[in-house]
Structure 1
Amino acid sequence: MMANDAPAPSDSTTDIQVKGKAVADATEIPASAESTENAEYAHLSTDELIALGKKYSATGDFEKAVEVLGCASAKLADVHGADSPLCADVLFLYGAALFENAVAKLSPLGGSVDAANEDAAADATDAAKESGRFVFEGDADDLNEGASSSSAAPAEPVADADNSNQEEEQDGEGGDAEDEEEGSDMQLAWETLDLARLGYQKMGTEGELKMADVLLALGDVSLEQAQWAQAIEDFTAAITIKSNRLSADDRELAEANYKLSLAHEFAEDFDKALECQETVMSVLNKKLASLKDLQGEQLTDRVIQETEDIEGLLADIKSKIIDLNLQKSEAAKKAAAAAEESNASSTLASTSTTAAPAVVNDISGLVKSKKNVSNSTSPSKDATSGLKRKADECEEPAGEEGAKKVKEGSDDN
């Protein structure tokens, strides 16, 4: 469902227009099947629930994260109201978990991960690079927090044909329900994130950077749902805020511009996608230059590692730019071929349409010429009579009567 398809507010609420969105003052947070009250977490404080939710998110167990963070959000909303700035942080975490949970359900292995797979979170950076997703943050802890189970290998196919047929029948019966659930999760994620955006907006300039992060998350939701225009709008708004508040070499700007480039690429606007990638290159080059200027005690192991990371990212971005240029070239060729085919069809249709009138014109010319000849050479009435008579005299008589008349005519002479 599109971000703009969020339920319309009632007349009794106050609408706040931001970046083309209308969000009503909320008194309840969006509900999720995984976030219902659970006795297992009833004794935990809000801070404990938030910490536990972060842990589950870091290990890729997003179903548990949704459940725990949903409880934390409900507790804070009961006290302060869902649109309160005091609820913005937990709503942001809750919305991000909802989104990741919806995405994880699309993977071959489904949602949550087993405890045996929790160590995979440490390999988040390598998995992201292998899947074509670039990581712009330099802090390894931040990378682990964004770990996902979606990179797990798919299960082996079942060899038994009967079992396969049974599974296909079951999938067919449950497919619609699963699609509806995934769509519902995406919608809940969007509504929750937009509530967080509203809370940060009420904080004024103090909440601008966090609001920009929420806008990036909203753009991710729209990107996952193939709503390119909405994603471009949210990413652009986030970049505007970050550009005004961050230094020109901040890697957050590179990340935001990379996401915007993806949205333009999927929308097949390759020129704008290339512009965004060039911006990414510019930001990373500036950061690399600032790191190489560090000397002495400032040249720590972390700085050295970040320098190597940025050099690797620059190489990846160069490859991405080459790929975008190839896509642009292929799109131009297809457009030219389609235009040529359309022109050929139009020319053929035009030729067949004008062929018949051309023949009629020729016939009209011939008829007109015949009339002109008749008028210019037509003799007088008497002359015509003479000609007719002469023609009659020259006619060959037929039968015996004709022969007799011819003989009589010869005798008279």
Structure 2
Amino acid sequence: MTLEQLLKDGARAMGETRYEDAVEIYSEACQMANLEQGKDDPDLMFLYGKALFENAVQSSDVLGGVGKGKEEEGEKGEVKGEGEGEGETAKSGGDGQFQFSSRLAEEEEEEEEEAAQKAASDSDSDEEVEAPADGDEPEQGDFEIAWEILDLTRILYEQQLAGVAPVAEPYEAHAADNPDFVARYGRLSDVYMLMGDISLETENFPQAAEDYEKANGMLERAFAACSGRRHEALFKLSLAHEFVGSDESVQRAVSCMEALLALVEQRDGAGGAAGADGASLVHEVRSRLADLRTLQQQRAAEKDQLVALLKGVTAAATAAATDAAHPGPVTDLTGLVKSRKKKSKPGRVGKR
């Protein structure tokens, strides 16, 4: 099979959401290109990384549903097993309480034997589980493999762009001056976006924010304000910063949505997206911006309450310490105490 046919098959598999097939096809295409050219092809590696990512997302969704179903089924099985055991005990004798007590007595007699068997079984199970762990390392998932492939792709694109004079900004408007540069520059921004998607999917939000920041900066230089790619980058960047959760990140999320709102309104004002679609997008952006500002206000209010509480506790502790170190004036009661007069002893009477 030729490389051209592999690319067609891979595109078809991606279009039909057969991502696992696409992973195998693009993997074979990368290997074939490497053998023919003697080096890795970043364009093919990008397609391979994207297929890995989509397959990982699809697999995680499917496995999540199956795992949940098995967990629920297991819980039902445990409940059912307990019910069956109680039913057998109640059915086995006419007097349920007497028979149940008898069953408990029998279980107590067998307790030591069962405990010994269980301990031996657990020991064997532990040895079976630990044995492969000593020799084998955990396999990488598609998310990790996709990240590594895309990181290598990023390096290759940056090497290709190094030393190449860029065209005037926005690059897309001057693509005719150097179409190869503009195409590779745009693909590099796609790599950063996809790496951000992987980090967002795996909940590595600081890394996602870093990659989206790089992609957004590149797209600002490459595309005009009306570009949907710039809008997507700003939205995802805002989302990543919101999930990071720090005050600085939330503020950055707000500024991203403010910039996105300005771009959308600029596009609509220029007649870029008229009608219900444009109005709906503006409404969604404004709604999210309002939610983020509300979040900021809530966090600020909570911080003020915490500061006030800490100040109150500190003031109370300081007052208590001051009272202990400087007690109040002591009243001298010595003058109020009356001393009792001593009775005189009778003198000796001399003999006359």
Determine the C-alpha separation between the residues in 1 that align with 2:17 and 2:45. Answer: 18
* CA spacing shift, 1:238–1:338, aligned 2, 3 Å: same
Query: SS state of the match for residue 225, structure 2?
Result: coil
Match of 2:186 in 1: 209
Query: SS state of the match for residue 226, structure 1?
Result: coil
Does structure 1 residue 258 correspond to structure 2 residue 173? no
Aligned residue runs from structure 1 range 283-302, under 5 A? 283-291=263-271
Match of 2:143 in 1: 186
Determine the C-alpha separation between the residues in 2 that align with 1:165 and 1:75. Answer: 55
Query: SS state of the match for residue 244, structure 1?
Result: helix
Letter in 2 for 1:224: E
Does structure 1 residue 48 correspond to structure 2 residue 5? yes
How many Å apart are 1:160 and its aligned residue?
7.5
Does structure 1 residue 270 correspond to structure 2 residue 250? yes
Match of 1:161 in 2: 76
How many Å apart are 1:46 and its aligned residue?
2.1
Letter in 1 for 2:76: A
Larger Rg: 1
Query: SS state of the match for residue 397, structure 1?
Result: coil
Letter in 2 for 1:110: L
How many Å apart are 1:191 and its aligned residue?
0.9
Find the partner of 1:397 among 341, 344, 347.
344
Does structure 1 residue 75 correspond to structure 2 residue 55? no
Deviations 1:299-347 (A, max 9, x none): xxxx77xx54333222211111122122222222222232233323323
Determine the C-alpha separation between the residues in 1 that align with 2:59 and 2:79. Answer: 21
Deviations 1:210-242 (A, max 9, x none): 101111111112222333332222212212222
Deviations 1:365-413 (A, max 9, x none): x79xx9xx9xxxxxxxxxxxxxxxxx9xx84223xxx1556xx8xxxxx
Does structure 1 residue 110 correspond to structure 2 residue 63? yes
Conserved 8 A contact 1:257-1:280:
yes
Determine the C-alpha separation between the residues in 1 that align with 2:75 and 2:300. Answer: 47
Q: TM-score, normalised by structure 1?
A: 0.56
Determine the C-alpha separation between the residues in 2 that align with 1:211 and 1:81. Answer: 22
* CA spacing shift, 1:59–1:225, aligned 2, 3 Å: same
Query: SS state of the match for residue 102, structure 1?
Result: helix
Unaligned runs of 5+ residues in structure 2 are 82-128, 167-180
Determine the C-alpha separation between the residues in 2 that align with 1:242 and 1:257. Answer: 10
Does structure 1 residue 331 correspond to structure 2 residue 299? yes
Match of 1:91 in 2: 45
Aligned pair count reads 268
Match of 1:248 in 2: 225
Conserved 8 A contact 1:254-1:279:
no
Conserved 8 A contact 1:251-1:283:
no
Determine the C-alpha separation between the residues in 2 that align with 1:62 and 1:165. Answer: 39
* CA spacing shift, 1:164–1:245, aligned 2, 3 Å: farther
How many Å apart are 1:258 and its aligned residue?
0.8
Aligned residue runs from structure 1 range 29-48, under 5 A? 44-48=1-5
In the TM superposition, structure 1's runs of 4+ consecutive aligned residues that sit over 6 Å from their partners are 163-166
Deviations 1:72-131 (A, max 9, x none): 12222333355x4xx111111111222222222332x239xxxxxxxxxxxxxxxxxxxx
* CA spacing shift, 1:160–1:186, aligned 2, 3 Å: closer
* CA spacing shift, 1:214–1:160, aligned 2, 3 Å: closer
Query: SS state of the match for residue 221, structure 2?
Result: helix
Unaligned runs of 5+ residues in structure 1 are 1-43, 112-149, 167-172, 293-302, 374-390, 409-413
Find the partner of 2:156 among 169, 178, 199.
199
Determine the C-alpha separation between the residues in 1 that align with 2:38 and 2:148. Answer: 15
Deviations 1:243-271 (A, max 9, x none): 11211222211111111111111122222
How many Å apart are 1:61 and its aligned residue?
2.6
Deviations 1:41-66 (A, max 9, x none): xxx32222222223222333322222
Conserved 8 A contact 1:251-1:287:
no
Letter in 2 for 1:195: L
Determine the C-alpha separation between the residues in 2 that align with 1:234 and 1:79. Answer: 32
Determine the C-alpha separation between the residues in 2 that align with 1:231 and 1:55. Answer: 29
Match of 1:388 in 2: none
Q: TM-score, normalised by structure 2?
A: 0.65
Does structure 1 residue 280 correspond to structure 2 residue 279? no
* Greater share of residues in helix: 2
Match of 2:197 in 1: 220
Query: SS state of the match for residue 110, structure 1?
Result: helix
Match of 1:136 in 2: none
Letter in 2 for 1:54: A
How many Å apart are 1:277 and its aligned residue?
0.8
Does structure 1 residue 345 correspond to structure 2 residue 309? no
* CA spacing shift, 1:344–1:51, aligned 2, 3 Å: farther
How many Å apart are 1:350 and its aligned residue?
2.5
* CA spacing shift, 1:103–1:164, aligned 2, 3 Å: farther
Letter in 1 for 2:319: T
Determine the C-alpha separation between the residues in 2 that align with 1:81 and 1:97. Answer: 23
* CA spacing shift, 1:190–1:403, aligned 2, 3 Å: same
